[in-house]
Chain A
Amino acid sequence: MSDLPAPAAVLEAADVRKIYPNGTEALRGVSMTVRHGSVHGLIGANGAGKSTLIKIISGVETATDGTVAWRGQAVRWTSPAQALSAGLAAVHQHTPLVPAMTVLDNVFLGPARAVTWDAGARADELGRLCDRIGYHLDASRPVGELSVGARQMVAILQALARDPALVLLDEPTAALSPSERDVLFRSIRRLRDQGTTFVYVSHFLDEVLDLTDRLTVLRDGRVVVDDATAATTKDDLVTAIVGERLARVEASAPPPHSAGEPLLVVEGLRSTGRFGPIDLTVHAGEVVGLAGLLGSGRSELLEAIYGADPAATGLVRVAGRRLRARTPHTAVRRGLALVPEDRNRQGLLRDWPIWRNVSLPYLAELARHGLPDADRERELAERAVTDLGIKAPDVDTLVGELSGGNAQKVVFAKWLYGPARVFLLDEPSAGVDVGAKADIIQLIRRLAEAGKGVLIVASEFEELLSACDRVLVMRRGQLIGERVAAQTDLHELTALASGL
C-alpha cells in the first residue's frame, strides 16, 4: 500500500486488529477504504466490532495491530482531539451537549479560535452552516428545551462547525422521527455533493441502502461485505449480518389464538402534560403493541402504568386487583415487569456482574431468611444465559462489558424467572442487531404462549407487526386507533401515528 497515495481515499484502515486486555478479540483484521466525497456505510450486528472500529478510527482507542491511514499518511491518534484537528469529526448517538447553553454556544463549544466571543460573527457562521445543510433552528434556544432529534442536529452542526473532511455518524437516526430523518439525509447528501465525506453507522438497513455509496459489513470482527451499495440488496445484507440465523423476524407471524382473561386493565389513566386519559386492556396470552412516534407519550404511558410517574392519576388493575400505591415497588409485587427504554440508565447496574443484575428484582424471593443465596442466583443467571443465548464468558462478566443486544437480554432475564405476569416493554430491541432482535421477538411470543400479557412500545412498526396480536396507535398523548396486527400494514400504522 506504499504505492497507493490515492487522493481518493480519505481514510484507509488496513488489517486492523484489536484484542482487549480481557482477551476479547473484537477485530480480526479489518480493512476499509473510505473514498473522498462519498457516504460510506458501516453495518454489522452488535458485537461484530463496529463500535471498536469506530473508536479506533476516531482516536478513542488504539489498534493492537494494523494501520489507519488518513489522506495517505499513516496515523496513530490517541485521542479524539487529534482526530478532530486532523479533520475527522465524530457524532455519536449521544453526543454530550450542555443543556443550559444555547444552540449557538453549543455549536461553537470547544475550539478557541479567538480570545473574544464575537456572538454576531458566530451567529452569521451558524446561519451559513444551516444554509449549507438546509436545516434551520432557533440559535438562541437552550439545548435542554430541544427535542431529541433537534439535539442530534445540533451535534451534527457542532461537528460541521469545525469544517471536517470526514464526518463519522454513529447511529444518528436512532432517536429521530421520520421527518427529522429526512432532513438529516437531505443534509448529508447536500454536504456530500459539496465534498464532505461521511462514514455512516446504522442498524437500519433501508437507511444504509438509501443513503450510502459504498458499504462495509462486519461480522465477528471481520469484513464480510465491502462493495458498492448499488450492487447489494437488503437480502444480501441481512444474510451477511446474521449469517445463518436468516430472517426469523419475518418467519414468526403470530399464531391466531383466543385471548384469555384480562390481565392488565387501565382506565382513565392520565398525566397532565404528558398523555391521557387512556383506557386499554391486555389479556393473558396476548401481545399488544403501542405504535407511536417519539414524543407521542408512549414511554410516559408505560411508566405511568408501572407506577413510576407520581403525577399520574387513574385506575390500573393487574389480574383484577387494583394497584393502590402507585410505585414501581407495588407494581413489581403485583406482577408487573418493565423493560425500560434506556437500559444503561434505567435497567442495569453496569458495574455488577450478570448474576447480580438478573437477581435484582426478586432477590427477596430467592433469598433464604433474608440472606441472598449466591448459588441459586448464579444458577438462575446461568439458566438465563443459556435460555436467551447471552454471549458472555460466564455469569461473572460485568454487564458493562456486554454488547447492546446481550445487555438487553440481561434486562429481560431479570423478569423472566419471577412471578411477573404482565410485561411492559419499552423499545425492547432498540440498538440491538438483527439476530438479537429475532431472538427477542421469539422471546416475546414465548411469553404470550406461557399465558403472560405483553405491552410493547416500539419505533419500528415492522417489529410490532411481527410480534403483536393487536396494535394500538398513539398520537399526541391519545390512543387514536386500534388494529388487529394481521389486518393492518406498515403504511397504515405509519400514517395513523404520524397523523397523515
Chain B
Amino acid sequence: MTSEVRRRPAWVQALAPRAAGVVYAFVLLVAVLTIASEAQGRPNYLRAINISNILDQTSLVGISAIFMTVVLITGNFDLSVASTGALAGTVAIKMVDSQGPAVALIVALLCGAAVGLINAVLVQKVGVNAFIVTLGTLTAVRGVVQAILNGNSITANNEAFHVFATAHWTMPQGVAIGVGVVLLAGVAYLATRSDHRGRVLGATALLWVTGLALFLIGLFQKALLDQTLPVWLMIALTVVVSAVLRYTVLGRNLYAVGGNPEAARLSGISVDRYKMGAFVLNGVVAAGVGILYAGRFNSVDPTVLTGNELTVIAAAVLGGTSLFGGSGYVAKSVIGALILFTLSNGFNVLNIGSNYQNVVQGLVLIAAASLYTATSARGRSLVRDRLAAMRARRQAPSADRSEEKELTSAGR
C-alpha cells in the first residue's frame, strides 16, 4: 500500500453528481419547465403562487418521505404508511365531532403507533421479512378503514383539523433574515475556528444552505415566506431530522444498524431498539400525515391515500436512499418528493395531459435508480472494466504481431 493517495476534498465529494445529483436534477427540471412555459407564453413558472402550490402539494409526501428514509436507513422497509395514514385520518374525522380535536388527535396518533409497533415486533422480534409484514399490514389496515367506513365517505363538522391543515403562516421578514444570518454566522464561526474548513462546510451544508435560502428569500422574495402549515412542518422536520441523523449519537447508530447490523450489535448497540423505534416513529408520523390529509377536505373515503406509500418510497429512492440500509439523506428524499410533484405540476401547467404523467414519473424513478447504481463504487469499476475491454478488443485485431505492446498501451 502506498501512503500517498490523493483524496478529493470533502466539499468536492459533496458536490459530485453521485452525492448531489438529485439537486442538479431538480434544478434542471425547474429550469426546463420555466423555459418551456416562457416559450409557450404562459405566466412565469417560478411565480410565488406556483412555488407555494408545489410545496403544499409536496408537503405530506415529503414528511412521509423523511421518516421513510429513516426506516430505510435502518435497513427496513415500510409499505404500510398510506393505510396507516388512512386509518388515522378516518379515526380523527370520525371522533372529532364527538370527542373534540385533542382526543381525536391522540387516539389517531396512537393508532399509528400501534401499527408501527406491530410492524416492529413482527420484523425485529419474530423475524419476518419487512416487505411481507408491511404488505400484510398495508392490506389489513386498509381493511379496517373500509370496515369503519363501510363504503361511505364521512365528513366532520368540527373544523379544527381542516383549519390546521390548510392554515397559512407567514414568517416575518425579520425572522427569516435573522435566522439566516445566525445560521450563516454560526457556520462561518465554526469554519474559521477549525483547521479543516472544507470538512466543516461539508458537514454543515444543510445549515448554511438553509440559512442562505432564508436570508435571500427574506430579502428578495418575501412572498415565499407565506406558506401553509404542512409546508413549514415539512421544512422544520427536514432540518431537525437531518440534524439528528448527522450530528447525534442516535443518528450515527441508526446508520450503523442499517449498514451492518451484526457489527453494530457486537459493538454494543441495541440494534432492535433502533430498528423498532424507526418503525414506531414512522407509524406515528404516517398517522399525522393521514390526519393532515383528511383535514384538507375535512372528510375521508375508503380509498383515501391509496397507493401513496409507493410515491413516498419513490421519493426516497429518487433521493438516493439505499434499499439495503445504511445510507440515505432525508433532505435529498424531500427533494425527491419535490421532483415528483414538480413533474406533475409541470404537466398541468404546460397542459400536456395527465395521461403520460405516470409513464414519465416511472421512467424518472428508474433512470435515477440506474444512475445511482452505475455511479456507485462497484458500478464505476464495472463501467471502467467494460470500457477497457472494449478498447482492448478494438486494438487487438490491428495488432496481431505486436499484440502485447498494443494491449499494454490500451490498458493505460
A residues adjacent to B (C-beta < 8 A): 21-25, 47, 61-67, 74, 76, 78, 306, 308, 327-329, 331-333, 338, 340, 345-352, 356, 360-361, 363-364, 367, 370-372, 374-375, 391-394, 396-397, 403, 406, 414
Contact = CB atoms under 8 A, between A and B. Distances in A.
A74 B403 contact: yes
Contacts of B260: 345, 348-350
A72 to B, nearest CB: 12
Nearest to B402: A2
Nearest to B251: A372
12 contacts: A21-B384, A64-B412, A78-B385, A328-B267, A329-B268, A348-B263, A350-B260, A356-B252, A360-B264, A363-B253, A374-B199, A392-B3
A22 B384 CA distance: 14
Interface in B338-388: 384-386, 388
Given A308-B266, A329-B269, A372 B2 contact: no
Contact of A370 (B250, B256, B408): B250
Interface in B380-412: 384-386, 388-389, 392, 396, 403-404, 407-408, 411-412
A24 B1 contact: yes
A315 B252 CA distance: 33
B262 interface: yes
Contacts of B404: 67, 74
Interface stretch (B4-12, B82-90, B109-117): B4-12
A95 to B, nearest CB: 19
Contacts of A414: 267
A367 B249 contact: yes
B134 interface: no
B346 to A, nearest CB: 36
B24 interface: no
Nearest to B243: A371
B277 interface: no
For chain B, the bracket of interface size reads: 35 or more
B238 interface: no
Contacts of A21: 384
Interface in B239-262: 247-250, 252-253, 256, 259-260, 262
A107 B4 CA distance: 44
Contacts of A349: 256, 259-260, 263-264, 326
Nearest to B194: A375
B268 A328 contact: yes
Given A327-B270, A332-B268, A361-B267, A351 B259 contact: yes
Contacts of A78: 385-386, 388-389, 392
Interface of B: 1-7, 194, 199, 203, 247-250, 252-253, 256, 259-260, 262-270, 326-327, 384-386, 388-389, 392, 396, 403-404, 407-408, 411-412
A349 B252 CA distance: 12
B48 to A, nearest CB: 37
A328 B265 contact: yes
Given A352-B259, A371-B248, 15 more contacts: A23-B6, A25-B2, A62-B411, A65-B412, A76-B396, A76-B411, A78-B389, A331-B268, A345-B262, A348-B263, A360-B256, A360-B264, A367-B248, A392-B3, A393-B7
A356 B268 CA distance: 15
Contact of B267 (A62, A327, A345, A360): A360
Given A62-B388, A74-B407, A327-B270, A363 B252 contact: yes
A376 to B, nearest CB: 13
B1 A23 contact: no
A393 B3 contact: yes
A86 to B, nearest CB: 15
Contacts of A345: 260, 262-263
Contacts of B4: 23, 393
Chain B's interface: helix, strand, loop or mixed, by majority? Answer: helix
A327 B6 CA distance: 42
Contacts of A394: 7
A364 B259 CA distance: 18
Contact of B265 (A62, A308, A370, A397): A308
Given A24-B2, A64-B411, A65-B411, A372 B247 contact: yes
B279 to A, nearest CB: 19
Nearest to B268: A332
A392 B2 CA distance: 8
A332 B260 CA distance: 18
B3 A347 contact: no
Shortest Cβ-Cβ A-B pairs, 8 listed: A332-B268, A78-B389, A393-B5, A361-B267, A23-B5, A349-B259, A67-B404, A360-B267
Give the interface centre of B7, B253, B267, B384 by most chain A CB atoms within 10 Å.
Answer: B267
Nearest to B384: A21
B5 A24 contact: yes
Contact of B248 (A66, A67, A370): A370
Contacts of B269: 329, 360
A371 B327 contact: no
Nearest to A360: B267
B265 to A, nearest CB: 6
Contacts of B384: 21
B402 to A, nearest CB: 9
B268 A62 contact: no
Given A23-B5, A24-B5, A63-B411, A346 B270 contact: no
B7 to A, nearest CB: 6
A62 B327 contact: no
Nearest to B265: A328
Given A332-B268, A338-B266, A340-B266, A371 B247 contact: yes
B126 to A, nearest CB: 14
Contacts of A391: 1, 3
Contacts of B396: 76
A351 B267 contact: no
B73 to A, nearest CB: 13
A103 B256 CA distance: 36
B256 A67 contact: no
A347 B249 contact: no
A269 to B, nearest CB: 18
A63 B1 CA distance: 17
Contacts of A306: 266
A237 to B, nearest CB: 21
Nearest to A396: B7
A347 to B, nearest CB: 6
A444 to B, nearest CB: 19
Contact of B5 (A22, A67, A347): A22
A65 B263 contact: no
Q: Which of A21, A363, A374 has its CB near the most chain B CB atoms (within 10 A)?
A: A363
Q: Which of B7, B389, B407 neighbours the largest number of chain A CB atoms within 10 Å of its CB?
A: B407
A238 to B, nearest CB: 21
Nearest to A22: B5
Contacts of B5: 22-24, 393, 397
A393 B4 CA distance: 6
Contacts of A62: 385, 388-389, 392, 411
A76 B249 contact: no
Contact of B266 (A65, A346, A350, A370): A346
Contacts of B2: 23-25, 393
Nearest to A366: B249
A302 B69 CA distance: 36
A333 B7 contact: no
Contacts of A23: 2, 4-6
B13 to A, nearest CB: 10
Nearest to A48: B1
Contacts of B249: 363-364, 367, 370-372
Given A361-B268, A372-B247, A392-B1, A346 B411 contact: no
B64 to A, nearest CB: 26
B259 A372 contact: no
Most B CB contacts (10 A, CB to CB) among A308, A331, A370 go to: A370
Contacts of A331: 268
